[in-house]
Amino acid sequence: MAEPLGELTRTHTCGALRSGDVGANVVLLGWVHRVRDLGGLLFIDVRDRAGVTQVVFDKDDEALMAKGKRLRSEFVIGVEGPVRRRSEDTINAKLETGDVEVVVRKLTLLNEAKTPPFSVADDSPVSEDVRLKYRYLDLRRPRLASNMILRHRVTAAIRRYFDAQGFLEVETPILGKSTPEGARDYLVPSRVHAGEFFALPQSPQLFKQILMVAGIDRYVQICKCFRDEDLRADRQPEFTQVDVEMSFARPETIFNLIEPLMHDVFAVIGKTITTPFPRMSYAEAMAKYGSDKPDLRCGMPIQDVRELFRESSFGVFKKIVADGGTVRAFVVANAASYSRSAVDGIVNQEKAQGRHLLWARRAEDGTTTSSFPKAVGEETVRQLLDATGAGNGQLAFVVAGDPDATSKTLGQLRLTLAKRDGLLDPETYAFAWVVEFPLLEWDPEEKRYAAMHHPFTSPLDDDMAKLDTDPGSVRAKAYDLVLNGSEIGGGSTRIHDARVQSRMFELLNIGAEEAKLRFGFFLEALEYGTPPHGGIALGLDRMCAILANESSIREVIAFPKTATAVDLMTNAPSSVSPRQLRELHLLPRT
Ligand code: ASP
């Protein structure tokens, strides 16, 4: 039977006691972590969020001992008694409280617990479905408990930083109008207005821009965003952004704001990061790494060696170059570990995917071998290795074809090899700004342009004239913050001129009528003295996952959904009553 809490008040957390506390009379409140019943001796480890403390029952107090022996894992208890030093042979160096123990004088059984479906006391592997169903038990375990503490410290550091920089945290609506981040909206039917819907925000984009029109000047919000996408990879239907907007900001202003923020965020885990972060254009990232989120921990940049083949006797490559294609290569960082059969294996894997990969190698003695046809000649192979900087003992992989495709192929291979060779050290933090993204991307299905970032992103001043003549080549004042191959944030300088904004809608095939219907309120606001402005949104979940060295963002979210967008603990989504549906005008009234 559970006893009342009464006046019982915790004096210390279960992580607090040290040898300096010996002699003090303390009260600990927490869960039974482990029971060690040695017959005449009974030890209980008591746990709360802060840690674990051993308590010991006095064998002379029979009634107390009998009560103690009824304790099971995860019962909730209060213990009161003096702190004493453990005998030398029982000191537990692994436990912060391991020098001491509490002698139980009074035990209060505050609640019993069913036997948990998995052990809370250790982090032994348990299937994720079970962990998600019993999330409250999983959250008690050390891994998730420390992730929650980390996440709190990160958000606290973020708030402190922005406050010191004069930012105001302003809340924006959850029930709103469809926003333009390009994903599907979650819709909320209106009961009051039959047939009308709110949309949950994909981001507060328009509100934060309107806050700039409103003179807020510097806005930040740690906010939930909702996107109804098929949950590829590691996405969640609702996720958290650190959303930022600033008046009179250039891209540079935002970089200078965010770099010291990252410094403060990484200080939470005791890491010092180097600023400024390298910057590279989208075009450079795509060519050198085959990705707009390059992982810069492993070197191995892709290099263009097409000029070697323009006049070469290797007809296949010569033709590719003459037709506007290219030849690209990268030098493997760890060539010594690649036997001939390992190289053939890689080539065959690429072949199975329809990609034609060649290689060239220089042995320690300087002689060259390659998979190029004999006719290419050793001299060209040597020149190729020279051009890529591959010295003795080094190996280069080579692909020819369409420039984007060659870099993509080599970029993926580069990452595969980096993983294989353990070059992606999770404790190295390689940041980069990728800048000057294309403003538009061609949607071949819809046969029209779509905004690559979102429709409110400003073109580069230098490219403004090309909006009419060659819109596909216009670069944007858009940037992404990349960390270890993940995009952890993205933003842009915005369009603040209503005419340019209308032109942008035209380019996106959004007619004047539709623009007015969807964004009329915003276009109108732009006409009332809008300062130039820009901002960024950082993905808090991904950032915390990287800081916690977790590969999935689910490990840093208290109550995440599965990959199929289900909450296994609450069983949401679930059906609702016909009455509710009728009220919402989703079923005809009978
Ligand atoms: N609203 C954008 C996003 O959610 C970020 C930004 O442009 O500030 O990706």
Nearest CA to ligand 1 atom 3: 537
**Distance, CA of 79 to CA of 512 (rounded, Å):** 71
Angle at 149 between CA 146 and CA 152, to 5 degrees: 150
Q: Which atom of ligand 1 is nearest to the CA of 494?
A: 7
Report how far ligand 1's centroid is from the alpha carbon of 409 (Å): 29
Report how far ligand 1's centroid is from the alpha carbon of 193 (Å): 30
Report how far ligand 1's centroid is from the alpha carbon of 455 (Å): 11
Nearest CA to ligand 1 atom 6: 491
Q: How high is the pLDDT of residue 428?
A: 93
For the chain, helix (H) and strand (E) counts, in that order, are 16, 23
Residue 472 DSSP one-character state: G
**Distance, CA of 586 to CA of 173 (rounded, Å):** 24
Q: Ligand 1: does its nearest atom lie under 6 Å from the Cβ of 180?
A: no
Q: Ligand 1: does its nearest atom lie under 6 Å from the Cβ of 108?
A: no
Q: Which atom of ligand 1 is nearest to the CA of 204?
A: 1
Of residues 359, 356, 365, 354, the one with CA closest to residue 341:
359
Q: How high is the pLDDT of residue 179?
A: 67
**Distance, CA of 428 to CA of 531 (rounded, Å):** 39
Q: Ligand 1: does its nearest atom lie under 6 Å from the Cβ of 536?
A: yes
Q: How high is the pLDDT of residue 171?
A: 98
Q: Where are the beta strands (DSSP E) in 462-572?
A: 478-483, 486-493, 533-539
Q: 179, 181, 226, 533: which to mutate for ligand 1, most atoms within 8 A of CB?
A: 181
Report how far ligand 1's centroid is from the alpha carbon of 490 (Å): 6
Q: Which atom of ligand 1 is nearest to the CA of 534?
A: 8
Q: 220, 241, 488: which to mutate for ligand 1, most atoms within 8 A of CB?
A: 241
- Report strand pairing: 394-401 vs 326-331: antiparallel
Q: Ligand 1: does its nearest atom lie under 6 Å from the Cβ of 203?
A: yes
For residue 308, give every residue at least 6 positions away whose Cβ sits within 8 Å of its Cβ, in sequence order, or none. Answer: 327, 380, 383, 384, 387
Q: How high is the pLDDT of residue 153?
A: 98
Q: How high is the pLDDT of residue 59?
A: 85
Report how far ligand 1's centroid is from the alpha carbon of 68 (Å): 56
Q: Ligand 1: does its nearest atom lie under 6 Å from the Cβ of 492?
A: yes
Q: How high is the pLDDT of residue 312?
A: 81
Q: 206, 218, 225, 243: which to mutate for ligand 1, most atoms within 8 A of CB?
A: 243
CB 45, CB 15: distance < 8 Å = no
Q: Ligand 1: does its nearest atom lie under 6 Å from the Cβ of 491?
A: yes
Report how far ligand 1's centroid is from the alpha carbon of 238 (Å): 15
Q: How many CA atoms lie within 13 A of 383 on its CB side?
A: 12
Mean pLDDT, the chain cut into blocks of 10 residues (590 residues total)? 94 98 98 94 96 94 95 98 94 95 97 97 92 98 96 98 98 88 90 96 96 98 94 86 98 98 98 97 97 96 94 87 95 91 95 94 93 88 94 95 94 96 94 98 90 94 93 96 96 95 91 89 95 98 96 96 94 96 92
For residue 556, give every residue at least 6 positions away whose Cβ sits within 8 Å of its Cβ, in sequence order, or none. Answer: 147, 150, 151, 541, 544, 545, 548, 550
Q: Ligand 1: does its nearest atom lie under 6 Å from the Cβ of 537?
A: yes
Q: How many CA atoms lie within 13 A of 268 on its CB side?
A: 25
Which of 29-65 are b and which e, b meaning 16 or more Cβ less than 10 Å from the residue's Cβ? bbbbbbbeeeeeebbbbbbbebbbbbbbbeeeeeebb
Q: How high is the pLDDT of residue 246?
A: 98
Secondary structure of residue 126 in the 3-state scheme: coil
Q: Ligand 1: does its nearest atom lie under 6 Å from the Cβ of 395?
A: no
Q: Where are the beta strands (DSSP E) in 145-237?
A: 168-169, 187-189, 197-199, 218-226
